Chain A
Amino acid sequence: MVSEIDELVKEAVKDVFSTMLGMNAEVDPKADQKQSDEELISGAVGFTGKITGVVFINTVSRFAKQITSSMLGLSPDEIDGDEMVNDTMGELANMIVGQVKSRLCDRGYECVLTVPSVVRGQNFSIESTTGTERRVIGFNCGAEKLKVEVLIKHENNQ
């Protein structure tokens, strides 16, 4: 199931980036696991029900601002403060995980979405707890990178 979710996430990220941003998100098999020194921003949405997990969409805040600018049709100068970027990253995560959730429901894994949340900071990492599997999928979006982390609670723990 976990590998199926990987594929659903890859499909959803590509779809959302192409539709909302006109941008190709290509899977990067050599995703860099190292932390960036730049400020990071992470949009997260979870799903809970017959299958439970959470998906984090991580990138540096510079790229998050670029995403916001493109999505809202504003110049980077018009993006005032962090709120707009946070909201956009939350919505981006919501669209990606919403698509994954719909596919899961179609396959019989009924679940509901949690509200989006956003984390900002430097040198933070997302770690799994016992009974949870963590997967990392890297994407190249032009010259920028996106890291998607998926935490899935093992079925026997549900």
Chain B
Amino acid sequence: MAVKILTVDDSKTIRMIVAKAFRPYECEVLEASNGVEGLAVASKEKPNVIILDVTMPVMDGPEMLAKLKSNPDLRSIPVVMLTAEAGKENVLRIAKMGVRDYLVKPFKEELIVERVGRIVELKPRGDSAQKHRRIDEEIKVLVVDDKPAIIDHIKKGLSDLPWHIEGVGQINQAFDYAQQNVVDVILISLSLPSDAGFVLYQKFKGTVKTRNTPILGMCVKIANEEQTRAQQLGFTGIVTKPIDIVDLRSKIVRALNLDTSFLYFEHRDTSLVVKIPVEMSQAVIREIESCLQQETTKAVDAGLDKVILDLTKVAIVDISLVELGLAIRQVSQDLSLKFAVLGSAEIQTQCRNFQETKDWKLAESFEKAMEILK
């Protein structure tokens, strides 16, 4: 259920600023223009937090607060006071009223989000929609490493994707960048001096804007202590140096749950074709496996009755590819789909070298595969 935030302020401007501040988060912002309206909305909607102005006509903030506190149904709702008057006496008076926090106008939107984020969990809007984001959409990646060569390597390696890679060497710069921009995933070097990578991780996790952002640690393979520490802290994953770009891409895909199915699955005629790319790797196999069930089910729904594993771009058939083929065949059988493998004579021979493929139907062209599956 979405978090409900009630803003009670006689200024429509302030209510609109509050609504704007929380727009990037999964929450509903309710509005009231004075204490009387505020109490009515609070009783009906039971908000998770109330942002309450002090000076208002009809019923001011302190009076509404007193009424909230005397109502057993409403007294536990946390209240953040918003005031244009920051004098010492005023602040002391507000603090004694039993409010959770207070903010002085003028205020930065980030500050109000930060304070409310300490009271309720704010999830960035789009977390649930991320399942539908495709790998070929713009993704913002923040890379924090004091070695410019690492940043360059990542930028060059991912340059075939429309991703924006922002590289910074200092943790303060990284933190400021992530506060001022929407970052989808963060990569932090775990070998920054004075444990700065771990300090930065904790800073990001303590901030509403980046609390739910996936963070991958980067370190050399033999840095076991750093890897263990990162896992214990809750890093989303580890990317080992020297960085294998295919592995990095795959880890980002998994961290963001990006859709890669269109790279591997295609509907052709009455068949679902599973295309194996030239650059075959464990990461690619994992990506195909992760959407296999969903894609075959969609194929059945679309009226297709065949699955063809396309190995025409593959040079070598190894055991991992055979295992993937067996998994595809099993899913096909479960859904009563016919199964065949497409590949050159050489690939067919390589397939036959594996006992497990003895009952695979092999064909050199798509047309022949369709024919033998009739």
Contacts and interface: CB of A to CB of B under 8 A. Distances in A.
Given A88-B13, A105-B89, A19 B55 contact: no
B84 A98 contact: yes
Interface in B162-214: none
A106 B87 contact: yes
A90 B90 contact: no
A98 B108 contact: no
B105 interface: yes
Contact of A95 (B84, B87, B108): B84
A87 B12 contact: yes
Interface in B263-307: none
Interface stretch (B14-22, B144-152, B313-321, B344-352): B14-22
Interface residues of B, number: 21
A71 interface: yes
B20 A72 contact: yes
A87 B11 contact: yes
A113 interface: yes
B85 interface: yes
Nearest to A85: B13
Interface of A: 15-16, 19-20, 68, 71-73, 83-84, 87-88, 90-91, 94-95, 97-99, 101-103, 105-106, 113, 115
21 contacts: A15-B106, A16-B106, A19-B106, A20-B17, A68-B13, A71-B13, A71-B17, A72-B17, A72-B20, A83-B12, A84-B13, A87-B12, A91-B11, A91-B13, A91-B14, A95-B84, A95-B105, A98-B85, A102-B85, A102-B86, A103-B87
Contact of A101 (B20, B57, B85): B85
Interface of B: 11-14, 16-17, 20, 55, 57, 83-90, 105-108
Nearest to B16: A72
B85 A113 contact: yes
Contacts of A113: 55, 84-85
Contacts of B106: 15-16, 19-20, 95, 99
A87 B20 CA distance: 16
Contacts of B17: 20, 71-72
A113 B84 CA distance: 10
A69 to B, nearest CB: 12
Given A84-B13, A88-B13, A90-B11, 7 more contacts: A71-B13, A83-B12, A84-B12, A87-B12, A91-B13, A101-B85, A102-B87
Closest 10 CB pairs of A and B: A98-B84, A105-B87, A102-B87, A19-B106, A91-B13, A102-B86, A88-B13, A16-B106, A91-B11, A73-B20
Contacts of A90: 11, 13
Contacts of A91: 11, 13-14
A105 B86 CA distance: 9
Contacts of B84: 94-95, 97-99, 113
Contacts of A98: 83-86, 105
B87 A101 contact: yes
A72 B13 contact: yes
A83 B86 CA distance: 28
Most buried by A among B20, B84, B89: B84
A73 B89 CA distance: 33
Contacts of A19: 106-108
Nearest to B9: A91
B281 to A, nearest CB: 44
A99 B86 contact: yes
Contacts of B107: 19
A117 B84 CA distance: 16
Nearest to A107: B87
A150 to B, nearest CB: 17
B45 to A, nearest CB: 24
Contacts of B20: 72-73
Contacts of A68: 13
A71 B106 CA distance: 11
Contacts of B14: 91
Contacts of B105: 94-95, 98
Contact of B90 (A73, A88, A105): A105
A58 B322 CA distance: 76
Contacts of A115: 57
Most buried by B among A91, A99, A105, A106: A91
Contacts of B57: 115
A53 B292 CA distance: 73
Contacts of A20: 17, 106
A74 B64 CA distance: 31
A83 B13 CA distance: 10
A73 B87 CA distance: 29
Contacts of B89: 105
